[in-house]
Amino acid sequence: MMMDENLLVLLLALLLDRIVGDPQWLWSRVPHPVVIFGAAISYADQQLNPSSLTGSQRRMNGVAAILALLVLSIAAGFVFDRFFALFGLAGLVLEAGLVAIFLAQKSLADHVAAVATALRGEGLAGGRNAVSRIVGRDPETLDEPAVCRAAIESLAENFSDGVVAPALWYAVLGLPGLLAYKMLNTADSMIGHRSEKYIDFGWAAARLDDIANWPAARLSVLLIAAGAWIRRGMSPCREAIRVAMRDGGLHRSPNSGRPEAAMAGALNVQLAGPRIYGGVIVTEPMINNAGRDVATAGDIEDGVSVFYASCMVLTGLIFGLFLCFL
């Protein structure tokens, strides 16, 4: 597919995802593609990561597994690309529908906004329950400001790897690039942990995911800053860039800290800091330490507003590039 067609399909997909999101009536009847990716990763894990192997053997098996999974996802992307090409204009619409499945604008905003709604309507218990659906940290250890920080951090991080990165890889490499990215990102979330079981087997998936998300994380900073300018004015825009440049590297991830720091600056709140995952304390510096130390449900709602504006800027950028390639 030519670049102008890629950009047109991506533009349609972004608009479709913004309006429709993830239709639960569909995914309650058929498996989501990411569920299929997860099943393939789980099978590789079961077959190639037994506890009887040494660490070096697990690492070699992990490299082989993720390379095989990426080859399969790239091949599937080529098959879908050739299939949609048979239908001309209708094929572009069908492809836009497939691409929209792998974007997370509306679904992410809905899940994050639900945390604020639960806090207002059901108190701390409701907020903990809502935030447990989008973050991996132990919800019972979170007070209300920590629940709010967790929701905002998830919003910023997933803006990068759930919206910007898939859009970027599709724009550059079409369906093969998009499916490969989603396979890699799913693998990182499943086996890319620094636990005893996965520190070796998931090593390659985690490192490749870091590389694949590097450009999107940096682009996300500029998009969040633009969204902050639209919703909150020039000062929050400048703060988003300043805090991202200063504190983006404080996060244990080489990428997640960038959009989180940008959102922290845009909202003038502190994010990150010590957290508990599975009973284990993860100690990290506070991002935007000079910001407000008590995040609220209102900050979550402001974050969602900035997020949607950032998505709008991304869509406008894709539209502008499409016009340039006409």
pLDDT score recorded for residue 279? 59
| Total domains present in the chain | 1
State pLDDT tens for residues 265-305.
999 999 988 776 665 667 788 999 999 999 999 999 999 99
State pLDDT tens for residues 113-170.
999 999 999 999 999 999 999 987 788 888 999 999 999 999 999 999 999 999 999 9
Closest CA to 257 of 267, 247, 242: 247
* Cβ contact 206:200 at 8 Å: no
* Cα–Cα distance measured from residue 306 to residue 303, given in angstroms and rounded to the nearest whole number: 5
pLDDT score recorded for residue 135? 87
DSSP notation for 54-70: -HHHHHHHHHHHHHHHH
pLDDT score recorded for residue 222? 98
Could you tell me the residue range of the domain that residue 204 belongs to?
3-325
Global pTM? 0.95
State pLDDT tens for residues 197-222.
999 999 999 999 999 999 999 999 99
3-state secondary structure of 269: strand
* Cβ contact 148:134 at 8 Å: no
Residue identified by tokens 């992990």 is: 62
C-alpha count within 13 angstroms, C-beta hemisphere, residue 71:
6
Assigned token pair, 234: 């020039």
* Cα–Cα distance measured from residue 278 to residue 149, given in angstroms and rounded to the nearest whole number: 18
- Quote the Cα angle for 186-183-210, to 5°: 70
